[in-house]
Structure 1
Amino acid sequence: MPTIEILSPAMTVPARRAVSVRLTRFLAARGVAPGHVVVHFTPSEPNTLFSGGVPVAALSPADAGEGLRHARVTVCVGADRDEAFRSELAGEIAAALGLTERTPFLYIEFRPTDPSHVYLADQGRLRPADTPRRNQP
């Protein structure tokens, strides 16, 4: 049920896929079913993300080179996940996005979410994420 929403400058499909696969593998290694990992990318339009009244795009020099320019990330994870898990996941997100010493802005916010408050499609019906899947016919 982990959901990771990434708002950043547009990324290519291969780059988005690489980030998604890396984060899915990281979470799967910690007991999360790969099919429960959702990664959503939204390209940020110029001058729509500000920090301290300044567009974050202006904080990144034009010659910043490779790596992450800026991003805002919102992560919904089970309320039972501890600080160590969140810290490791934050580090993995930063690495997957290409954080460098020249990245001027990366904001990662965790929203602990009770799985009973998340609904998933299951054979044409919705079920809370904390209930088992229906039996396959």
Structure 2
Amino acid sequence: MSIIQNPLIPEGTSRPNGEPLKCRKCGSADHLDLETIESIAPHPGDLLVSVSYTCLMCETSYAHTAAFHEVATVLNRNGTVSGLLQFGGEYFHCGEPMQFARSSARSVYAPITTDDVDDGLLDVYLKTRVLQCHCGFRMELPA
């Protein structure tokens, strides 16, 4: 049986290493809250992803490369995703992808007073996209 080399990986490329998916303070993976999971460039060996997470016991945050099977193990535990998870280009809340609700333009300048004051400042607007979850949770992202 011959091994076919991946044409996207130059010959002699070093094999990246994934760090263990656990809290270094308490030494456990039982209280991890995953925040982001991103793919990394093609590489030889095990499937690795870039992940960021927080230990809910110590409130310590981490970001590093980890084996995808370890990330999947944490994701498959009941109650692991407590908030918002960004996975690839999608945002997840309540375990389901959030959907675009609408786009809008928000003023970056918000006056401190309600009096009609001509301060000579130009209004600056930021285009945003609103994402929402079926539970009612919403968030705005720059468009």
TM-score tier (shorter): under 0.3
User: What TM-score does the superposition give when structure 2 sets the normalisation length?
Assistant: 0.20
The structure that has the greater radius of gyration is 2
Of Structure 1 and Structure 2, which has the larger fraction of its residues in strand?
2
Of Structure 1 and Structure 2, which has the larger fraction of its residues in helix?
1
User: What TM-score does the superposition give when structure 1 sets the normalisation length?
Assistant: 0.20
